[in-house]
Structure 1
Amino acid sequence: MSKQYDKELSVKELAALPDEDIDFSDIPALDEAFWKNAKVQMPDRVKTPLTVRFDSDMLEWFKSQGRGYQTRMNAVLRSFYEAHRH
């Protein structure tokens, strides 16, 4: 089902939507062939060691997601950077 909204939804509002209210029709199905040939590709970028300070609750949340939390934090920062650099 798809539904038109009068305003853009916040992240909290989107998270509260029941699955049946989300329109997935524009997302192609991923079959066995896709997963058979899928590979994770990490960007070949040089990373610079850095000492930073983050809010404790945010850091603990990223760490609670398991190994690779620094990579995920970098991905979030990169996403913000990509969205705002132009």
Structure 2
Amino acid sequence: MSETRIIKQSDRAKLRDRTDWDRVRNLTDEEVERAAREDPDWEGLLDIDWSKAVLVVPAPKKAVSIRLDADVLDFFKSEGRGYQTRINQVLRSYMEHRRKEAEDA
């Protein structure tokens, strides 16, 4: 499990002030490229041809009230932030599976 770091709103300004934006603005493309290649979070993403990428704007979500069994809700919440998104993903998977079944019939 990743370590959670809570930052108070009053501390955000202090964190923002620690960035040396002049240094960042003056980085060359080569320096940015080198830093990205040394960053393990970018592994496998730098050599992708993004020129044909298509921006997909998801449809806005609708707020609903839904009754869930307590243990189901507890399970999704126990996995951390984003539990509503995960519930939506499970429902979407079910929906797509059923649509595919209907098309194949």
Q: CA RMSD in A?
A: 2.8
Alignment-derived partner of residue 67 in structure 2? 53
Q: Give the TM-score of the pair, scaled to structure 2.
A: 0.43
Alignment-derived partner of residue 81 in structure 1? 95
Write the mapping of 1:29-44 to structure 2, written as runs, cut at 5 A: 32-34=43-45, 44=58
Q: CA deviation at 1:45?
A: 1.7
User: How many corresponding residue pairs?
Assistant: 53
Q: Which structure 1 residue ranges, 5 or more long, are not aligned?
A: 1-31
- The one-letter code sitting in structure 2 at the alignment partner of 1:71 is T
Q: Which structure 2 residue ranges, 5 or more long, are not aligned?
A: 1-42, 49-55
Alignment-derived partner of residue 9 in structure 2? none
Secondary structure of residue in 2 paired with 1:53: coil
Q: Give the TM-score of the pair, scaled to structure 1.
A: 0.52
- The one-letter code sitting in structure 2 at the alignment partner of 1:33 is G
- The one-letter code sitting in structure 1 at the alignment partner of 2:44 is A
Write the mapping of 1:16-35 to structure 2, written as runs, cut at 5 A: 32-34=43-45
The structure showing larger relative contact order (alpha-carbon pairs under 8 Å, at least 6 residues apart) is 1
Alignment-derived partner of residue 80 in structure 2? 66
